[in-house]
Structure 1
Amino acid sequence: MISLLFFVFIALHSVSALSICNVCLCRTNRVENVLQQYIDCSRRDISMSNLTLPSDGYSLDLSSNKFDRLQNSSLFKSTTIIELFLNDNNLKEISANVLDFPELRILDLSFNKLETIHESTFTNLKKLQFLNLASNKFTSFEKLAFHHLSNLKEIILDNNDIGQSLRKVNLFDINGFGLTKNIRNISMYSVNLNEVPDNFFIEAYDIRKLVISNNNLSDVFEFPYTLEYLDLSDNPIKTISTEDFNNIPALRVLKLNNLQIEEVPCYVFEPLHGLKELEIERNKYLTNFSRLAFGDEALNDPDNFLLEQLSLKNSRLTTLDEDLLEPFGRLIKLDLQGNPWKCDCKIAWFKRLQIDPKDYEHLRCGSPKPTYNSKIFDLKPRYFTCPKQDRHFIGVTIAGVAFCIILALIALWFFVFVPRYQSRSNFTQSMYAPSAAYTVLPMASHFRE
């Protein structure tokens, strides 16, 4: 009887202390002579109770488990876990002090239904560096508390309707629960932001990456001086100028896709001496790309042209100036596909560019009709000519202008000189004309005498 009770106790104890690796997939990797346990519990519909984590746990994946809230459990306590994935659940609430991971660096809470982050939610996550809160139900930045995360380097706030609140609340409010000054990367894709207030980033001293795409911004704003990566895509921005990028000399990547700009003007990218990658894609109003977009130096001294990748695909460009051949010829990657290029003598230089074959499949002609939809790199040189009628038209135009000028000069000569000539003739005729006194004498008087 005693032995039976003993076995029952052992069985109950083993159930209460069931290792998570008995119900989830666990694998061990050796990294720099250190064993790291990766625990995959995604899509397992596991219960949070009666599961313990291994002593050498490194990564814990609890995504897609239909959790609606997090409560105190041994599943959320570990001194070794570095990565925690709770994305794609139905989380509406995280109780205070539930997450007890003093060594945690990465936390993914994206694609849940969270509306509030309690001020004590992150109390025990002092070393957290990456936080993903994308695609939740946040509507006010005031309901997000980050002041415990002094080591946070990157945050993703995509697809949360917090744009209106950001016009009133400082993102780095040191008196509230805003982001700390150590933040380096911020993503605010589609947060319904209409305007970036002045000095919005004035307290951000080390921001390197900013994604603020797919919002309602119509004007370019003041950027943090330290930026190295900037994505302004999918905003209704109508113009860009040199002043817009004048104060971010360290920028290396710039994305200006799907804006409402009609031209890329002169010198707009000249201040960006460190720019390595530039995307200007899907701009349906863009018809003009200035030969001086990168400044004079890019044309006169291409050795200082450091850009490596450029994409102008899927816009409305029809031609580019041949002066760009030298700087564009130095690019590692160039994509000009998806534009209605006018295949004439003005773009014959395209075929001299070193473009990867996979990047000219859709590099095709938009006009004239004989070359419509033809691959530019498949066309023979005879197709890249400017029609003779164009030159004839220019000649006729010049002749017409010259003829008009000559007529104008003749008319001017008559106006200035002809009136004077007529007045002198009249004067001469008056000198030799008979006197009026003689003309009135009657002829009959002579015979009477």
Structure 2
Amino acid sequence: MLLKLLLLFVLVFCENVYSEICSNASKLKCDCRIFTNTKSHLPMQTADCSERGIENIPENIEDGLSILDLSINVIQNLDPTKQALSSNSLEELILSYNNITYIDVNFFQNLPNLQQLDLSNNFISAFNNSEVFQNLKSLNFLDLSYNNLNTLPDFIFNPLFKLIQLDLSYNYMGEFLTSSKSVLTDKLGLTSNLTQLSINGLNLMELPSGYFDKFVDLKKLSLCDNDLSVIPTVPYTLEYLDLSGNKLTFISARYLNYHSLKVLKLNEMDTLTDIHHYAFYNLFALEKLYINDCPNLKEFNELAFDVPSKDIDHHPKFLSLARNGLKSLNQSYKYFFKNMDHIDLTHNPWNCDCDILWLQDFADELSKPHELRCNYPSELKHKKILDIEPSDLLECFPAIYGKKSHRVLIVVLSLSCVVLCGLIFYLLRYPINGIANKHKIGPNSPYSLAHTTDHA
């Protein structure tokens, strides 16, 4: 009986919270479902209205809807006089990949509990009023990436005192965001509560000294696809730093002195050619290191972390060096590899000589080990490193094939024996006396005096 009452309650509750956007009568035909919130353990409703050709924000969104996804549609303007959006229960609103160019200052006024707002991949060129987010007191995530923004109004983020994640990537704000070291805080109103910041693809050449000083809780920073030639000073609280796609030419410990950093990404840099000694020595907490797609990085320093030792448990546990220009890797790294969980060395132009064979001992630790292939010498080109046999590199196995000098001597002696045997055979076949008699001058020789007189 109790189970029946509970089931009846759930059905009644679900029917009551089902908003009009999810009703059978709705023309939008959104995919709606109810799930349990992992934090509150209460039922929540989500509506996936993406890719429906929607031109206007749906009306009459009732309380009960927690997540509304309107991405990949053709919405152009967010104007409350034409399309009102009001909900006390909505926590996440996704408006990415639309054609939005204009947002009215009052559009978000009736979403007091909104926590996440995604406006990425639109055509927003400006916010005409700094109070556009003034009523979003609960907002903790804001994505404005991939728009056409050049500047932002003063104090636009001032009402967002709970904001902890901000993405401004791939706009045209590079000059604006580097106009002063305090532009993010004093001018735009960001608080020190920020924990994640993405400012990728803004053509940043350098950052003013002290640029991040006020972000004392910043944990994750992404500076990808800029024009930085030197690693900037970042907060010591960072646990994640992505500098991929910049113009760094070297990596040095001088610019990497962050004891809390756990993940470091240095991918896709054609300019990167050198990893200095002890470059990562000061990254005591480093767990994952990515250096991929750097074609001019031809050597990975044997002392990049520290002097290798079999008695020390080294960081990181995850190392990716794929698609670089690496030709060899010092076998001292075998002490590191024994303690690693993931190692990716694929798609490098490896020189397959005696110094590469130690990698065969780590077939279980290597990621995609059968994709490690030789590039040199030519006779081993494209051969899998794990498939190299002793007969492929004779000089590497002196116990089996002897030393190279010994093999050369054996070859020379063998050739000498062949030549000597040939000479002996020739002498036996054509003795010296026979050869001498063949040309001896006698009565029958055309060169003898007697032969000449007879003809006379």
TM-score (norm 2): 0.76
Preserved CA contact (<8 Å) 1:172 1:203: no
Distance verdict in 2 for CA 1:322–1:50, change over 3 Å: closer
Distance 2:143 2:205 in 1: 23
Distance verdict in 2 for CA 1:76–1:232, change over 3 Å: same
Distance verdict in 2 for CA 1:168–1:98, change over 3 Å: same
Match of 1:378 among 362, 378, 387: 387
Point out the more displaced range, 137-146 or 88-97.
137-146
Q: Deviations over 1:220-263 (max 9, x none)?
A: 111111110011111111111111111x1100000111222222
- The equivalent of 1:332 in structure 2 is 341
Preserved CA contact (<8 Å) 1:145 1:178: yes
Match of 1:217 among 225, 228, 245: 228
Task: Answer yes or no: is 1:63 the counterpart of 2:71.
Answer: yes
- The equivalent of 1:235 in structure 2 is 246
Preserved CA contact (<8 Å) 1:333 1:355: no
Counterpart of 2:348, as a letter, is: N
Q: Secondary structure at the match of 1:123?
A: coil
What aligned pairs does 1:299-338 form with structure 2 within 5 A after superposition?
299=309, 301-303=311-313, 305-338=314-347
Preserved CA contact (<8 Å) 2:341 2:365: no
- The equivalent of 1:6 in structure 2 is none
Task: Answer yes or no: is 1:252 the counterpart of 2:262.
Answer: yes
What aligned pairs does 1:180-191 form with structure 2 within 5 A after superposition?
180-191=191-202
Distance verdict in 2 for CA 1:322–1:44, change over 3 Å: closer
TM-score (norm 1): 0.77
CA shift for structure 1 position 171: 5.4
Number of matched pairs: 372
- The equivalent of 2:445 in structure 1 is none
Counterpart of 1:107, as a letter, is: L
Q: Deviations over 1:167-212 (max 9, x none)?
A: 2144554432232211111112211111112111111111111111
Point out the more displaced range, 354-363 or 189-198.
354-363
Distance 1:374 1:46 in 2: 54
Q: Deviations over 1:411-432 (max 9, x none)?
A: xxxxxxxxxxxxxxxxxxxxxx
Identity of aligned residues (%): 32
Match of 1:280 among 278, 291, 299: 291
Counterpart of 2:382, as a letter, is: N
Q: Secondary structure at the match of 1:76?
A: coil
Distance 1:113 1:197 in 2: 29
Distance verdict in 2 for CA 1:384–1:130, change over 3 Å: farther
Distance 1:183 1:256 in 2: 23
- The equivalent of 2:27 in structure 1 is 23
Counterpart of 1:159, as a letter, is: Y
CA shift for structure 1 position 367: 0.8
Preserved CA contact (<8 Å) 2:342 2:367: no
* RMSD, matched Cα: 2.4
Distance verdict in 2 for CA 1:158–1:355, change over 3 Å: farther
Distance verdict in 2 for CA 1:176–1:188, change over 3 Å: closer
CA shift for structure 1 position 384: 4.2
- The equivalent of 2:62 in structure 1 is 54
Q: Which stretches in structure 2 are left out of the alignment for 5+ residues? A: 1-18, 406-456
Distance verdict in 2 for CA 1:176–1:105, change over 3 Å: same
CA shift for structure 1 position 331: 1.0
Preserved CA contact (<8 Å) 1:141 1:169: no
Preserved CA contact (<8 Å) 2:141 2:164: yes
Q: Which stretches in structure 1 are left out of the alignment for 5+ residues? A: 1-17, 393-449
Task: Answer yes or no: is 1:162 the counterpart of 2:163.
Answer: no
Preserved CA contact (<8 Å) 1:264 1:293: yes
Q: Secondary structure at the match of 1:198?
A: coil
Task: Answer yes or no: is 1:153 the counterpart of 2:164.
Answer: yes
